[in-house]
Amino acid sequence: MGTRLAGKVAVITGGGGGIGSAAGRIFCAEGARVALVDQSEDAVMSAVHDIRQAIPGAEVHGFVADLGVEAEADRVIGEVVARLGAVDVLVNNVGIRRYEAVADAPWEAWDAIIRVNLLSFVSMTRAALPHLRKSGRGSIVNTSSTYAVYGRKGMGAYDATKAGVLALTRTLAFEEGAHGVRANAICPGFTRTPFHVKRLGAAAVEELVPPCVMKRWAEPAELAYPMLWLASDEASYVTGATFMIDGGLPA
């Protein structure tokens, strides 16, 4: 057990997924008390079970919420504070995908993805801010995407929301600095999450060589460790920053 997050309470959305659950495990290993939030009860409780098995004594709890609904943020933060007493770190990591060109994606698809990928970051942040400010050393870590910065075709709605996350992060850094709250973003590249393995198949993931300098997929923990640093007091002079965690993916 480490101590880099000792005494901190961390809330991680998308906590049942690959990067979110990896962050939960690493945060617990560094002394945090962790709340994992996910729409899937099976996924989040499986992540909680795995963390408790891997880290004896870990204080980690699962919460189920559909963060595409604004009121869910206030509810789940209220439940976290009632159980854990504080929020020092908020990791906005939830996300959904659509594989459609801008010309083909219906309005309803845009509405759904904006609600989850961008507006949930707003609602969770707003619900958590009184507690983050009270902490005096609060940290917000937002998960964006390399394709918030680089161009591609076929995922216009997803990429637009991820670009919005970067703008939101910078704004929060300016607005919340006076309250002792930092806000930063990471942009993952090709990451070997259960989502991609299920979507593409394990064999296809092994065969696909990402077009990055390192020529390999990242493991979820390789995204979670930068989150750990940003959540910790080691990054106390870092805010409003965007970190490309992509193995050297060229623009």
- Quote the tokens at residue 129: 């801010």
136-186 pLDDT, tens digit each: 999 999 999 999 999 899 999 999 999 999 999 999 999 999 999 999 999
Task: Provide the token pair at 30.
Answer: 């560094």
Tell whether the torsion through CA atoms of 50, 56, 58 and 62 is positive or negative: positive
Asked if the structure places residue 250 within a domain, the reply is: no
Q: In this predicted structure, what is the pLDDT of residue 14?
A: 97
Residue among 164, 85, 161, 77 nearest 123 (CA):
77
Q: Report the distance separating Cα 104 and Cα 112, nearest Å.
A: 15
> Could you tell me if residue 2 is inside a domain?
no
Which residues are annotated as catalytic? 158
pLDDT computed for residue 98 by the predictor: 86
Q: Is 116 part of any domain?
A: yes
Instruction: Confirm whether 154 is domain-assigned.
Output: yes
pLDDT at 250: 81
**Residue range 60-71: average pLDDT?**
98
Look up the domain containing 113 and give its range: 9-245
Number of domains in the chain: 1
- Residue 178 in any domain: the answer is yes
- Binned at pLDDT 50, 70 and 90, residue 1 comes out as confident
Supply the CATH number for residue 115's domain.
3.40.50.720
CB 35 within 8 A of CB 21: no
pLDDT digits 0-9 by tens, 206-226: 899 999 999 999 999 999 999
Predicted TM-score (pTM) of the model is 0.96
User: What mean pLDDT comes out for the span 196-200?
Assistant: 83
Region 65-81: mean pLDDT is: 98
In a domain, 251, yes or no: no
Under a CB-based contact definition with an 8 Å cutoff, are residues 36 and 16 in contact? yes
Which candidate, 195, 111, 104, places its Cα nearest to that of 153?
104
Instruction: Tell me whether residue 3 is in a domain.
Output: no
Q: Is residue 4 part of a domain?
A: no
